[in-house]
Amino acid sequence: MMATYALCSFANIGSIGIQLGSVGSLSPKIKPILAKYALRAVATACIASFITTCWAGILISEPQICLSSAQSACFNVTVPR
């Protein structure tokens, strides 16, 4: 579940390209300024995504175990002793 929060965000190059294209088409004069700050936007989005993922990991008390067709656990969620 934490991977869902980490992967479903605007912290990837494709999303930044979509945002640059859509906002740049609305106001072409500021497109170079937007492109200048695109790398900072990706870094900030990554940090925000990681913080959200950390909070999701803190708040989820019971991990969800999925079973494959062989009826074995998909993820090892046991705590080593």
Tens digit of each residue's pLDDT (9 = 90 or more) over 17-31: 888 888 888 888 988
Residue 75 lies in a domain: no
Instruction: Give me the chain's average pLDDT, please.
Output: 77
Residue 71 lies in a domain: no
Q: Which residues of 37-69 are buried (b: 16+ CB within 10 A; e: fewer)?
A: eeeebbeebeeebeeebeeeeeeeeeeeeeeee
- Answer yes or no: is 77 within a domain: no
What range does the domain containing 26 cover?
A: 2-59
pTM above threshold 0.75 = no
Number of domains in the chain: 1
